[in-house]
Structure 1
Amino acid sequence: MHSVCFHHVDEDPNSEFDVTPAELQRFVRTALDHGATFVAPSALVDSATNTETATAEGAVCVIFDDGYRSILEYAAPLMSELGVVFGMAATTGLLIDGERPTSMSHSSSDFLTMAALRDWTAAGGELLGHSHSHIALDKLATATIAHELDTELAAYAEHGIPAPDLFAYPFGARDNRARTAVAARYRAAFATGSGAPPSPGSRFDIHRVTFRRRKLLRLLCLDWKTLEDPTDD
């Protein structure tokens, strides 16, 4: 099983994390042509923790991070056309009126509204937690980690969006304090090679590949062995 994290979808990439619609389509088509089955994040988690619900060896899970408007404008129609599912790890502080987190260079118009996210989840979209301010949790005081997570969940409740039960660490950054806080609120979490050493087999340390433009060729070649090297995220 493999998990891949994308961010902004843009015809003219201006960040190492941006992917074009054509590149995304080529990756999905290539994986399908090689027998991959695309599964929702919850299905991947269930498979990893319950042998009775195991998915195929070549299953692929795609998660789009942060809540960019381009996810529903470009990625969602493309994924639907190809018959594959995906999840979204949104950041509530980016989706409501207010100051943009300093870690994000994009303007407010680049992100979805809470209303658009609510419509997407109502239509069956699978939402993951991703914090309120998109900040590395391992850099925060323990009480502030809890505040970040609780503020996010409160924002979803305020806007009538069901609370997600899966989480994706911002920047992949986590330590034991972050894992403990997340475990108190979610049933599993996705990580990357960033932050503390992984806890093999932990439901709160499920590895995913972060797409960067330098990894494009390897992704299109489905070179999972090198892509999943945690030192290369």
Structure 2
Amino acid sequence: MLAKTYLGDPRLAWMVEDANPKESFLADRLVVIPLVIQNRAGITEKGYQTVPILCYHRFAPSCDSPLCMPVEIFEQQVRYLKENGYRVIGPEALVEFLNYRKPIPKNAVMISVDDGYRSIYELAYPILKKYGFTATLFIYIDYVGVSSQAITWDQLRELKREGFTIGSHSVSHSDLSKPKKDEDGKAYMARLKDEIFRSKQILDEKLGQETFIFSYPFGRQNQKVASLARQAGYTIAVTVDRGSNPFFADPYMIKRDQILKRDMDRFTSRLKTFNYFPLK
């Protein structure tokens, strides 16, 4: 209510929370409303803010592949984020942070899911909704609706209405970083443009949106691929290179950590939201 009244957007409630100790939100206490943005980059004399992006693929009650996350473990991880004060942001907020336009919450983290398995909708979505979180989904076009394992366009539309961001993961999920065997330079360039440009066009038409985020298949890319992503109209593109992202990160080489191990210690080690680097 305070954020809506004084800041014009209820989603900025975190700014009020971060500006006050918890005991402020009791009867007869003063609450500070920060009307001036003072630190868009999250820089302090001790270091600077970074944004970890968690990368998942599919979910199941039990798994036999590192790319599959058991739902019980996934809920433990999401519950840990909630109970320890992490705030899940979308790529729109990340773009504003990278462009030095708006700050993001302390302990900001992004959740992303690649490929387009139906388990995103059937298993991950209810857990995320339970804890008040959303995620960014990277979909490759040729997989949508092809089997009972694949997400459908209607399910994607529902998730979009619920606040999920839908990004491109190419058309066919081919390796864009190098030509295929017996593929000459002209054919390679034609494939790159089809995978990068056409996937955006289809998502735009099917979902009624302006798709602005791209995930390189297998996380592989080169400068030519990144340049084409920019030309296609994406404002941000993600890899699977490990690490967190400061405000000065290259927006077309954004890092993500694939969550492949199932122990909580490994999971929590990926949640680096601040880089200690004395600036005095």
Range into which the TM-score falls when normalised by the shorter chain: 0.7 to 0.9
1:90 and 2:139 are equivalent in the alignment: yes
**SS of aligned partner of 1:127:** strand
Provide TM-score, normalisation by structure 2.
Answer: 0.68
Q: What is aligned with 2:194? A: 147
Post-superposition shift, 1:54? 1.7
Q: What is aligned with 2:56? A: 6
Post-superposition shift, 1:20? 1.2
The amino acid of 1:180's aligned partner reads: S
Give 1:20-31 correspondences, 5 Å limit.
20-31=70-81
Q: How many positions carry a matched residue from both structures?
A: 208
- Distance in 1, Cα, partners of 2:160 & 2:81: 26
For the 8 Å contact 2:54–2:257, the answer to whether it is kept is yes
- Distance in 2, Cα, partners of 1:110 & 1:211: 21
Of the candidates 154, 171, 179, which is equivalent to residue 218 of structure 2? 171
Change in Cα spacing, 1:93 to 1:223, as seen in structure 2 (3 Å) is closer
Change in Cα spacing, 1:32 to 1:131, as seen in structure 2 (3 Å) is same
**SS of aligned partner of 1:89:** strand
Q: What is aligned with 1:103? A: none
Of the candidates 115, 123, 135, which is equivalent to residue 154 of structure 2? 115
Post-superposition shift, 1:43? 1.4
For the 8 Å contact 1:142–1:177, the answer to whether it is kept is no
Gapped regions of structure 2 (runs ≥ 5): 1-50, 180-187, 243-247, 273-280
Post-superposition shift, 1:3? 0.5
**SS of aligned partner of 2:249:** coil
Q: What is aligned with 1:15? A: 65
CA RMSD of aligned residues (A): 2.1
For the 8 Å contact 2:204–2:211, the answer to whether it is kept is no
Q: Name the structure with the higher helix share.
A: 1
Give 1:44-55 correspondences, 5 Å limit.
44-50=94-100, 52-55=101-104
Provide TM-score, normalisation by structure 1.
Answer: 0.81
Q: What is aligned with 2:169? A: 130
Q: What is aligned with 1:188? A: 236
1:70 and 2:119 are equivalent in the alignment: yes
Residues 142-191 of structure 1: CA distance to partner in whole angstroms, max 9, x if unpaired? Answer: 22111112231233345354241111111110000110011112011111
Residues 7-64 of structure 1: CA distance to partner in whole angstroms, max 9, x if unpaired? Answer: 10111112111111111111122122222111112212322222x4121342110011
- Distance in 1, Cα, partners of 2:73 & 2:229: 33
Change in Cα spacing, 1:56 to 1:14, as seen in structure 2 (3 Å) is same
Q: Which has the larger radius of gyration?
A: 2
- Distance in 1, Cα, partners of 2:160 & 2:194: 24
For the 8 Å contact 2:257–2:270, the answer to whether it is kept is no
Post-superposition shift, 1:135? 1.4
- Distance in 2, Cα, partners of 1:126 & 1:157: 12
For the 8 Å contact 1:121–1:127, the answer to whether it is kept is yes
- Distance in 1, Cα, partners of 2:109 & 2:207: 30
For the 8 Å contact 1:93–1:133, the answer to whether it is kept is yes
- Distance in 2, Cα, partners of 1:8 & 1:223: 19
For the 8 Å contact 2:114–2:138, the answer to whether it is kept is yes
**SS of aligned partner of 1:124:** coil
